[in-house]
């Protein structure tokens, strides 16, 4: 079924069409899993993979790749690509090395009066007030990097003040600002701790495009990865917003308000048969990462509950969303008990009752995940 277009105005997508656009764009339909993509190709198609090292099941980036590639994925490949710097960490995201120049173009002008908000300018003023500490950190990295933040000197004359987690964490804040400017970068990790180095030793010295060209290209690629996105949305932390501006094609989604943009290639694919599958997702998977978009497009009630007291959790510490075709229909509450050699499924929460085929497909995904982790699956009877 194609999209409708009136005599004037944008195309109108049904709720089902909108869901299918989002799922296909994220490589979560059945044909995408059979395509034989590798880790680098998946990360580039998604534009980025969130870094989160929680190991209740597995680190989020690994789960995102497993959801697309399945149990045949070499568990060491992600680490290998990072060590080779073919995947590069920028602001807690892994990006393809060929896309780093698109981010460095913004770093080269940061903070820009027209591109960056007052908070970012205030952070830069704070760094300028602590110019001696900036020089000390860069000199230490030049001599001995890569190093963890704990090995870097705090010679700030004006402490960083915040009502949040960063209050008084001078070196951490300094590194965050210098990374935004492209002066330092994450060169790797030692356990969970990032290792910092001079950016010139981490990033390739590629020619940079003009910043507005780079931002436009990032928006085009972001829309290609999402399939469907708001034209405008609230600002979020990190190198890329949830909105895409005026790229792609304007569409209306039935039942939803506001201006949406769709990837033209995904619109062209709407007349092709949709072949879905069952997939278990990381709680930080890009399909569900923007909780407002998830609720609007996929009508899914979900949040990561690891920071809630146990008594207030509905689905579990690190429940994995369950994709069934083009719908999110449940959560799998699981724990990787490595001492016992088991992937323990505490509960399978069905938002709508699963049919027998779906229940069996969820079990098969749990078994595939367990095998990939080198564990035995333990499911509720």
- In this prediction, residues 229-256 reach a mean pLDDT of 85
- In this prediction, residues 200-222 reach a mean pLDDT of 97
Query: What is the Cα–Cα distance from 324 to 289, expressed in whole angstroms?
Result: 18
- In this prediction, residues 90-106 reach a mean pLDDT of 97
How many H helices and E strands in the chain?
14, 16
Give the ranges where the chain is alpha helix by DSSP (H).
15-25, 30-33, 39-46, 60-69, 77-83, 100-107, 118-129, 131-144, 170-180, 211-226, 264-268, 286-289, 291-298, 356-373
Residue 27 burial (C-beta neighbours within 10 Å; 0-12, 13-18, 19+): buried
Query: What is the Cα–Cα distance from 320 to 316, expressed in whole angstroms?
Result: 9
For residue 6, pLDDT beyond 70? no
Phi, psi of 375 (to 5 degrees): -120, 165
For residue 272, pLDDT beyond 90? yes
Query: What is the Cα–Cα distance from 33 to 67, expressed in whole angstroms?
Result: 9
Domains of the chain: 11-98+209-378 (no CATH), 99-201 (1.10.10)
> Residue 335 corresponds to which tokens in the numbers above?
């724990």
Contacts of 299 (CB under 8 A, 6+ apart): 15, 327, 328
- In this prediction, residues 217-224 reach a mean pLDDT of 97
Q: Is the pTM of the predicted complex or chain greater than 0.85?
A: yes
How do residues 295-354 score in pLDDT, each as one tens digit?
A: 999 999 999 999 999 999 999 999 999 999 999 999 999 999 999 999 999 999 999 999
């Amino acid at each position: 079924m194609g999209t409708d277009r009136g005599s004037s105005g944008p195309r109108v997508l049904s709720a089902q069409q909108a869901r299918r656009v989002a799922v296909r764009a994220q490589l979560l339909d059945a044909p995408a899993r059979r395509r034989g993509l590798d880790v680098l190709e998946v990360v580039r198609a998604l534009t980025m993979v969130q870094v989160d090292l929680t190991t209740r099941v597995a680190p989020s980036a690994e789960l995102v790749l497993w959801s697309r590639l399945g149990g045949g994925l070499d568990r060491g490949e992600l680490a290998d690509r990072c060590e080779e710097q073919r995947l590069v960490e920028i602001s807690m995201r892994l990006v393809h090395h060929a896309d780093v120049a698109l981010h460095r173009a913004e770093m080269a002008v940061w903070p820009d009066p027209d591109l960056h908000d007052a908070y970012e300018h205030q952070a830069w003023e704070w760094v300028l007030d602590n110019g001696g500490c900036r020089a000390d950190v860069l000199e230490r990295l030049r001599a001995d990097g890569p190093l963890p933040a704990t090995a870097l000197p705090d010679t700030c004359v004006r402490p960083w003040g915040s009502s949040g987690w960063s209050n008084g964490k001078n070196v951490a804040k300094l590194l965050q600002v210098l990374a935004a400017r492209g002066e330092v970068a994450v060169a790797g990790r030692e356990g969970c701790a990032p290792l910092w180095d001079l950016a010139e030793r981490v990033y390739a010295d590629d020619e940079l495009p003009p910043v507005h060209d780079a931002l436009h290209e990032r928006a085009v690629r972001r829309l290609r990865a999402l399939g469907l996105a708001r034209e405008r949305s609230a600002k979020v932390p990190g190198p890329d917003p949830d909105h895409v501006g005026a790229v792609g094609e304007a569409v209306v989604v039935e039942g939803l308000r506001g201006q949406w943009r769709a990837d033209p290639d995904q619109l062209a694919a709407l007349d092709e048969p949709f072949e879905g599958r069952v997939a278990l997702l990381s709680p930080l998977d890009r399909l569900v990462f923007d909780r407002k978009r998830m609720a609007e497009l996929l009508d899914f009630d979900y949040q990561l509950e690891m920071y809630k007291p146990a008594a207030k959790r509905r689905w579990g510490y690190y429940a994995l969303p369950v994709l069934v075709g083009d719908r999110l229909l449940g959560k799998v509450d699981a724990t990787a008990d490595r001492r016992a050699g088991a992937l323990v499924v505490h509960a399978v929460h069905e938002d709508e009752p699963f049919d027998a085929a779906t229940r069996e497909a969820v079990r098969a995904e749990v078994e595939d995940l367990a095998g990939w982790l080198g564990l035995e699956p333990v499911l509720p009877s």
